């Protein structure tokens, strides 16, 4: 709480500055001013023409404009948490890995893209929880059928980050400081050297100690375990991200021709195992990504023929150090020494991991008429990994198991047809996709290495319809037979905490979505129901000393979600949404821990099934000086309790469960015009409520952040 008070004292003088900002205003910011800072799902009202067209497509898509949050300290996760149908579970504090739940799709079933570029197998340095909001134009959330041009093997959901591409020179910089010694610096700039040629750069640096208090099991002097309040002591996270761009836009031969070079890195101390039952005090992971990609796009390259393509080369290097023989308790004290190995593994590790990933995609569209378009898309990825571990090599008698190469080659080809009729009141899309994967990996059992080679193939297809009943009502429905190829981590492991399983198989699912949208001047509403019948679910089975992905379950999922946004007056916004999802096991699998009918139709464990979000925001212009904006917002998140393990096992009163959580967040910002300085103060988890997520890992309590941002732009002449 002391940190929050200090930040409040720091923030208060900014309200008394009375500095008059420049009167020039950004037209894009004016357009979205009414929705500024309210963490909400943006529907039709207030979107740009391109977003309006995307929202009107027959696929179920939610669009989150990032511009309203540039002056806040929000992350991409904060934006997504307020969208109906989305639940995000974290493995810890800032920088921790996350799992997404969207309309019954979970984990790696949800695919991620940056400007349509798939982020599969590219490491952990560009995760959404550390990607700066100021570098994002919008986030597109697809629920159910995906557009064929994304070229993805998602099982019912995808998230596409669309980066900023405004046709102007600008400089944007921000710095924030937050609880638990968290610091975030972000800088981006773009300069048009000529009318059609630009240079740009983006960079950010993050640091967090994540030394927040948790309730942990600590033995007392008699050796009896007691629950004690302690601070996480080995959970520092640091990362940087630098991108340089050079591009040509708006010429006769290219709408876009952009070269990007990226260099990112992270340092992540490992505090505990996945179940938070064993603390670590020395192990850490370091990663670096060097990437280059070229993107080309041209509409009407030939008559009625559009072409879009990209190719990228990525080199990811990881370093996993687990050489300490010390045994730590949750107070950070060394209580024992092991005879060999490391904190996490019996062998110990000084493991260098080398990944090389080549991505390529080409998308073509042929317009038969203004109302009918045929699209072809092909996405190719080659993942190749090798390693070297001198510490483990000694343990295994001189054999370097980790030097054995592993690889995964994936290809996704899709052909889609879309059109609109009856003055665009009726829209449809339909597609067929072919997936193939060839993987080469190995397993280690009792110091015996066995090589495995597998080839996987699947066919998927979908159709979606959208019909505008009136100016206010739009109804959408879709069916999809979806399939998902295993990712490298699932089939080949991560060489650290997750063991390989090259025999893993493809997931498949039959999905049905029905979506109704309502829109008028002051109210936006949406109601969706969904059904999933999933087989061969790739599920992470956790254990004390190692975990593994397996095809463990089949399940049926039914759910309903709804959202409403209400603007009684232009300066006041309210929003609320809810989601109920019922995931039921349909498996009877011998030898996999589910060997009788007692688990048939049981709710899947460790997955929330009822959650809600809500918020209000208020804005006032010309406070203390002209052209200033004062904004205040409050948001709340509710998650109903759910069981950590199978609900049908054991006595109800003794079950380990994730408790019901109601978290509140509030903030205030003051901007000295559309250009110049802005300030924001935010408090997360106002009531300091104990919060838990993945496998009951405890999350931070109350935290505060203060952010200052400077923005200047120069509009290009047209």
Residue 592 is encoded by which pair of tokens? Answer: 């996999």
Q: Is the pLDDT of residue 36 over 50?
A: no
pLDDT of residue 598: 78
pLDDT of residue 508: 94
Residue 116 is encoded by which pair of tokens? Answer: 């349509």
Provide the pLDDT confidence category of residue 544 given band limits of 50, 70 and 90.
low
Residue 443's Cβ-count burial label (10 Å; 0-12, 13-18, 19+) is middle
pLDDT in tens, 110-129: 889 988 888 888 878 777 78
For residues 208 and 93, what is the distance between their CA atoms, to the nearest angstrom?
9
Helix, strand counts (H, E) of the chain:
6, 37
Q: Is the pLDDT of residue 718 over 70?
A: no
pLDDT of residue 545: 60
For residues 383 and 408, what is the distance between their CA atoms, to the nearest angstrom?
5
CA distance to 226, 501, 572, 588, per residue, from 595 (Å): 35, 21, 55, 6
pLDDT in tens, 418-459: 999 988 899 999 999 999 999 998 877 766 778 889 999 999
pLDDT of residue 716: 61
Provide the pLDDT confidence category of residue 88 given band limits of 50, 70 and 90.
confident
- On whether the CB atoms of residues 141 and 471 are closer than 8 A, the answer is no
Mean pLDDT in residue range 504-532: 93
Q: Is the pLDDT of residue 40 over 80?
A: no
Residue the block writes with tokens 């019954």: 104
CB burial of 585-618 (b: ≥16 within 10 Å; e: otherwise) equals: bbbeeeeeebeeeebeebbbbbbbbbbbbbbbbb
Lowest mean pLDDT among 65-74, 241-250, 393-402, 674-683: 393-402
CB atoms within 10 A of CB 659: 13
Cα end-to-end distance, the chain, whole Å: 51
Provide the pLDDT confidence category of residue 180 given band limits of 50, 70 and 90.
very high
Mean pLDDT in residue range 78-88: 86
pLDDT of residue 411: 96
Provide the pLDDT confidence category of residue 701 given band limits of 50, 70 and 90.
very high
Q: Is the pLDDT of residue 47 over 80?
A: no
CA distance to 82, 91, 431, 615, per residue, from 88 (Å): 10, 10, 29, 18
Q: State the sign of the Cα–Cα–Cα–Cα dihedral 71, 74, 76, 78.
A: negative
Provide the pLDDT confidence category of residue 48 given band limits of 50, 70 and 90.
very low
Provide the pLDDT confidence category of residue 41 given band limits of 50, 70 and 90.
very low
For residues 574 and 592, what is the distance between their CA atoms, to the nearest angstrom?
47
Task: Name the residue among 717, 628, 639, 617 with its Cα closest to residue 685.
Answer: 639
Q: Is the pLDDT of residue 31 over 70?
A: no
Q: Is the pLDDT of residue 20 over 60?
A: no
Residue 426 is encoded by which pair of tokens? Answer: 């009726």
Q: Is the pLDDT of residue 74 over 80?
A: yes
For residues 652 and 181, what is the distance between their CA atoms, to the nearest angstrom?
40
Residue 537 is encoded by which pair of tokens? Answer: 């679910």
Q: Is the pLDDT of residue 363 over 60?
A: yes
Backbone angles phi, psi at 490, to 5 degrees: -70, -40
**Quick check: helix, strand or coil at residue 385?**
strand
Q: Number of C-alpha atoms within 13 angstroms, CB side, residue 88? A: 22
pLDDT of residue 6: 46
Strand duo 157-163 + 110-114: pairing: parallel
535: left (phi over 0), alpha (psi -120 to 50) or beta: beta
**Quick check: helix, strand or coil at residue 152?**
coil
- Give the list of residues 6+ apart from residue 50 with CB closer than 8 angstroms, or none: none
For residues 394 and 347, what is the distance between their CA atoms, to the nearest angstrom?
8
For residues 329 and 280, what is the distance between their CA atoms, to the nearest angstrom?
8
For residues 598 and 587, what is the distance between their CA atoms, to the nearest angstrom?
10
Mean pLDDT in residue range 399-413: 90
SS3 content of the chain, % helix, strand, coil (to 5): 10, 55, 35
**Quick check: helix, strand or coil at residue 546?**
coil
pLDDT of residue 26: 39
- Residues above pLDDT 90, as percent of the chain: 56
pLDDT of residue 97: 84
> C-alpha 263: how far from its chain's center?
20
pLDDT of residue 46: 36
pLDDT in tens, 655-689: 778 899 999 999 999 999 878 899 999 999 999 99
- Domains in the chain, please, with CATH? 2-204+214-715 (2.40.170.20)
Helical residues (DSSP H) of 321-414, grouped into ranges: 390-395
Provide the pLDDT confidence category of residue 178 given band limits of 50, 70 and 90.
very high
pLDDT of residue 50: 57
Query: H or E element: which one contains 8?
Result: helix 2-11
Provide the pLDDT confidence category of residue 11 given band limits of 50, 70 and 90.
very low
Mean pLDDT, the chain, whole residue set: 86
Mean pLDDT in residue range 463-486: 94
CB atoms within 10 A of CB 300: 11
- Give the list of residues 6+ apart from residue 515 with CB closer than 8 angstroms, or none: 60, 143, 475, 476, 477, 526, 527, 528
CB atoms within 10 A of CB 129: 17
DSSP-derived secondary structure for 34-84: GGTT----B-STT--HHHHHHHTSSSEEEEEESGGGTTS---HHHHHHTST
For residues 668 and 22, what is the distance between their CA atoms, to the nearest angstrom?
21
CB atoms within 10 A of CB 7: 20
Mean pLDDT in residue range 583-595: 68
Provide the pLDDT confidence category of residue 27 given band limits of 50, 70 and 90.
very low
As beta bridge partners, residue 42 has 63
Provide the pLDDT confidence category of residue 217 given band limits of 50, 70 and 90.
confident
pLDDT of residue 445: 73
pLDDT in tens, 296-339: 999 999 999 999 999 999 999 999 999 999 999 999 999 899 98
Q: What is the 3-state secondary structure (H, E, C) of 588-641?
A: CECCCCECCHHHCCCECCCCCCEEEEEEEEEEEECCCCCCCEEEEEEEEEEECC
For residues 257 and 295, what is the distance between their CA atoms, to the nearest angstrom?
6
As beta bridge partners, residue 468 has 474
Q: How many residues does the chain have?
A: 718
- On whether the CB atoms of residues 506 and 536 are closer than 8 A, the answer is yes
Residue the block writes with tokens 């931070």: 700
- Give the list of residues 6+ apart from residue 540 with CB closer than 8 angstroms, or none: 107, 498, 547, 548, 549
Q: What is the 3-state secondary structure (H, E, C) of 438-485?
A: EEEEEEEECCEEEEEEEEEEEEEEEEEEEEECCCCEEEEEEEEEEEEC
Residue 635's Cβ-count burial label (10 Å; 0-12, 13-18, 19+) is buried
Lowest mean pLDDT among 67-81, 290-304, 603-617, 701-715: 67-81
Residue 139 is encoded by which pair of tokens? Answer: 């986030």
Provide the pLDDT confidence category of residue 1 given band limits of 50, 70 and 90.
low
Task: Name the residue among 513, 374, 502 with its Cα closest to residue 437.
Answer: 502
pLDDT of residue 615: 94
For residues 449 and 406, what is the distance between their CA atoms, to the nearest angstrom?
13
For residues 594 and 255, what is the distance between their CA atoms, to the nearest angstrom?
55
pLDDT of residue 399: 83
Longest dimension (CA), the chain: 82
């Amino acid at each position: 709480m002391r940190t929050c008070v200090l930040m409040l004292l720091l923030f208060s003088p900014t309200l008394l500055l009375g500095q008059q900002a420049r009167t020039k205003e950004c037209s894009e910011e004016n357009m979205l001013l009414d929705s500024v800072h309210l963490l909400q799902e943006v529907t039709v009202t207030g979107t740009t023409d391109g977003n309006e067209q995307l929202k009107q497509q027959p696929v179920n898509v939610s669009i989150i404009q990032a511009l309203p949050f540039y002056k806040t300290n929000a992350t991409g996760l904060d934006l997504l948490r307020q969208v109906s149908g989305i639940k995000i579970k974290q493995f810890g504090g800032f920088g921790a890995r996350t799992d997404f739940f969207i309309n019954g799709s979970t984990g790696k079933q949800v695919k991620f893209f940056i400007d349509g570029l798939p982020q599969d197998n590219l490491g952990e340095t560009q995760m959404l929880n550390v990607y700066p909001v100021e570098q994002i134009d919008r986030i597109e959330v697809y629920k159910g059928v995906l557009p064929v041009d994304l070229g993805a093997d998602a099982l019912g959901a995808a998230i596409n980050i669309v980066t900023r591409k405004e046709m102007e020179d600008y400089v944007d910089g921000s710095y924030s400081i937050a609880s638990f010694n968290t610091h975030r610096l972000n800088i981006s700039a773009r300069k048009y050297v000529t009318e059609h040629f630009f240079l740009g750069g983006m960079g950010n640096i993050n640091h967090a100690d994540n030394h927040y208090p948790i309730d942990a099991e600590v033995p007392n002097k008699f050796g009896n375990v007691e629950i004690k309040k302690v601070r996480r002591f080995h959970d520092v996270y640091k990362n940087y991200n630098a991108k340089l761009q050079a591009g040509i836009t708006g010429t006769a031969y290219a709408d876009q021709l952009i070269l990007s070079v990226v260099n990112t890195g992270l340092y992540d101390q490992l505090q505990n195992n996945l179940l938070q039952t064993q603390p670590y005090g020395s192990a850490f992971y370091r990663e670096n990504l060097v990437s280059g990609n070229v993107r080309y796009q041209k509409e009407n390259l030939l008559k009625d023929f559009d072409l879009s393509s990209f190719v990228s080369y990525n080199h990811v290097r990881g370093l996993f150090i687990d050489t300490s023989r010390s045994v730590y308790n949750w107070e950070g004290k060394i209580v024992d020494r092991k005879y060999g190995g490391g904190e996490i593994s019996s062998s110990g590790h000084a493991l260098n991991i080398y990944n090389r990933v080549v991505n390529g995609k080409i998308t073509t569209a042929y317009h038969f008429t203004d109302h009918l378009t045929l699209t072809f898309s092909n996405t190719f990825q080659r993942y190749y990994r090798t390693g070297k571990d001198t510490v483990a090599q000694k343990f295994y008698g001189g054999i370097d198991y980790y030097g054995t190469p592993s690889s995964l080659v994936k290809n996704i080809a899709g052909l889609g047809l879309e059109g609109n009729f009856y003055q665009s009141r009726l829209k449809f899309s339909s597609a067929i996709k072919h997936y193939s994967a060839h993987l080469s990996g190995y397993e280690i059992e009792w110091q015996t290495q066995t090589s495995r080679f597998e080839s996987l193939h699947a066919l998927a297809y979908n159709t979606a319809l959208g019909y505008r009943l009136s100016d206010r009502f739009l109804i959408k429905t879709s069916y999809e037979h979806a399939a998902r190829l295993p990712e490298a981590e699932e089939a080949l492991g991560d060489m650290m905490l997750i063991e390989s399983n090259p025999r893993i198989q493809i997931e498949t699912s039959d999905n049905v979505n029905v979506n109704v949208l309502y829109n008028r001047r002051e109210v936006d509403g949406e109601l969706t129901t969904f059904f999933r019948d999933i087989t061969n679910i790739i599920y992470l089975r956790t254990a004390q000393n190692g975990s593994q992905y397996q095809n463990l379950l089949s399940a049926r999922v039914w759910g309903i979600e709804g959202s409403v946004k209400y603007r009684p007056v232009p300066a006041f916004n309210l929003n609320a949404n809810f989601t109920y999802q019922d995931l039921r096991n349909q498996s009877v699998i011998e030898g996999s821990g589910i060997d009788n009918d007692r688990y048939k139709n049981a709710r899947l464990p460790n997955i929330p099934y009822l959650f809600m979000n809500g918020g209000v925001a208020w804005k006032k212009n010309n406070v203390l000086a002209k052209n200033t904006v004062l904004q205040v917002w409050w948001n709340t998140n509710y998650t109903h309790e759910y069981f950590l393990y199978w609900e049908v096992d054991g006595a109800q009163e003794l079950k380990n469960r994730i408790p019901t959580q109601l978290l509140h967040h509030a903030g205030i910002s003051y901007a000295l015009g559309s250009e110049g300085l802005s300030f924001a103060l935010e408090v997360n988890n106002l009531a300091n409520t104990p919060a838990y997520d993945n496998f009951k890992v405890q999350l931070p309590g109350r935290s505060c952040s203060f952010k200052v941002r400077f923005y200047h732009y120069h509009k290009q002449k047209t």
